Amino acid sequence: MPLTRREFVAGLGAAGALATLPRTTHAAVAQPLLYPPMDLSAFDAPLHHGDPVIHPGCSAITWGDKALPAIEDIAAAGFSGIQLRAPVIDQYPDPHALRDVLAAHNLTFVALSSGVASIDPALRASQLELHTAHAKYAHEAGAHYIQLIASNSSPTAAHTAADYKLQGEVFTEIGKRAADYGIKLGFHNHMNSVGQPPEAIDAILDASDPNYLFLELDVAHCLQGGGDPAATIRKWGKRILFMHFKDVHTVPTGSGYEWLELGTGRVDFPAVIAALHDVHFRGWAIVELDRVPAGQTLTAKEANAQSLHYLREKFGVEA
């Protein structure tokens, strides 16, 4: 059970008193006294960790990974952070140049999407080198995190406990390398990957080192993959690095689902926001829309701005 500040300070005093006594007399002292006496009434309340905060960012994926138009539009739409994918490295080979462009637009570089972490043993060495290089680039460009998706999979594939254990080990190995550059690694639950179903999220996190792998929870992928986003938040709140906010609905063709702007699909965002408050989340929520939904005439900027407006009007989220 968590200690109150009063209990914590009293414990420190007791430990100090014991430390001054000969080792053989410790057992004889049942209730060591604090000296000098002090009033501890101010410490009766539990420690306050600060109010929950959701910082809204936006993913550049809607712009087809064209970095500069995405940066300009995302800043103009009122977002305070951005997530970019690995193709940005070809557009800005010098990470310091990217850092300067983002600073000029007052955007925080929240995360770099680094790709897939395969469990194929033949790819282990090469992907470790690749994702380490991405972590180094992210650090020099001013990013906080890198994001990885679990190994690719078909929608109907069955995976074993050994697969999840291996996936956790691969993530941990990459996370340790990223940590060398001060970058944290987020595991992005994703459709058509080993990390798709809710049991996979649990098993992969359980199999990984919590010091080097964190959860980057996508609420729409979680729902579409058979999970409950709010329940997942409450279960893994301490491991959540940042969030992906997107929405989803069912369609009769293709994959059977389509990603949408926030508040227009099946994701229960009031429940999601309530869960984030319950776990005292303080961090980034990246609005992500892979593409403007079919039949819409909105631009990428307009579609994502609509999601930001929803967060502001419905939940009071501010950049």
CATH number of the domain residue 272 falls in? 3.20.20.150
- Concatenated DSSP letters for the chain? -PPPHHHHHHHHHHHHHHHTS-GGGGGG-SSPPPSS----GGG-SPPP----EEEEEEEGGGGTT-HHHHHHHHHHHT-SEEEEETTHHHH-SSHHHHHHHHHHTT-EEEEEEEEEE---GGGHHHHHHHHHHHHHHHHHHT-SEEEEEEPB--TT----HHHHHHHHHHHHHHHHHHHTTT-EEEEE--TTBTT-SHHHHHHHHHHS-TTT-EEEEEHHHHHHTT--HHHHHHHHGGGEEEEEE-EEEE-SSTTSEEEE-TTSSS--HHHHHHHHHHTT-EEEEEE--SSPPTT----HHHHHHHHHHHHHHHH----
Asked if 16 and 122 sit in the same domain, the reply is no
Per-residue pLDDT at 31:
62
Measured between alpha carbons, how far is 172 from 150 in angstroms, rounded to an integer? 12
Q: How far apart are the first and last CA of the chain?
A: 35
For residue range 281-318, list pLDDT tens digits in order: 999 999 999 999 999 999 999 999 999 999 999 999 98
Asked if 36 and 163 sit in the same domain, the reply is no
Tens digits of pLDDT across the chain (319 residues): 455 555 554 555 555 544 454 554 444 555 665 565 666 666 666 666 678 899 999 999 999 999 999 999 999 999 999 999 999 999 999 999 999 999 999 999 999 999 999 999 999 999 999 999 999 999 999 999 999 999 999 878 889 999 999 999 999 999 999 999 999 999 999 999 999 999 999 999 999 999 999 999 999 999 999 999 999 999 999 999 999 999 999 999 899 999 999 999 999 999 999 999 999 999 999 999 999 999 999 999 999 999 999 999 999 998 7
Asked if 21 and 167 sit in the same domain, the reply is no
Asked if 31 and 58 sit in the same domain, the reply is no
- pTM (2 d.p.): 0.85
Amino acid sitting at position 184: K
Measured between alpha carbons, how far is 148 from 94 in angstroms, rounded to an integer? 22
HSE-CB of 55 using CA atoms within 13 angstroms: 14
Over its C-alpha atoms, the chain yields an Rg (Å, rounded) of 23
**24 part of a folded domain:** yes
Give the range of the structural domain holding residue 182, as residue numbers without chain letter: 53-315
Per-residue pLDDT at 18:
44
**279 part of a folded domain:** yes
For residue range 157-178, list pLDDT tens digits in order: 889 999 999 999 999 999 999 9
**48 part of a folded domain:** no
**112 part of a folded domain:** yes
Asked if 60 and 150 sit in the same domain, the reply is yes
Per-residue pLDDT at 156:
80
**229 part of a folded domain:** yes
Cβ neighbours around 17 below 10 Å, total: 15
Pairing of strands 282-287, 53-59: parallel
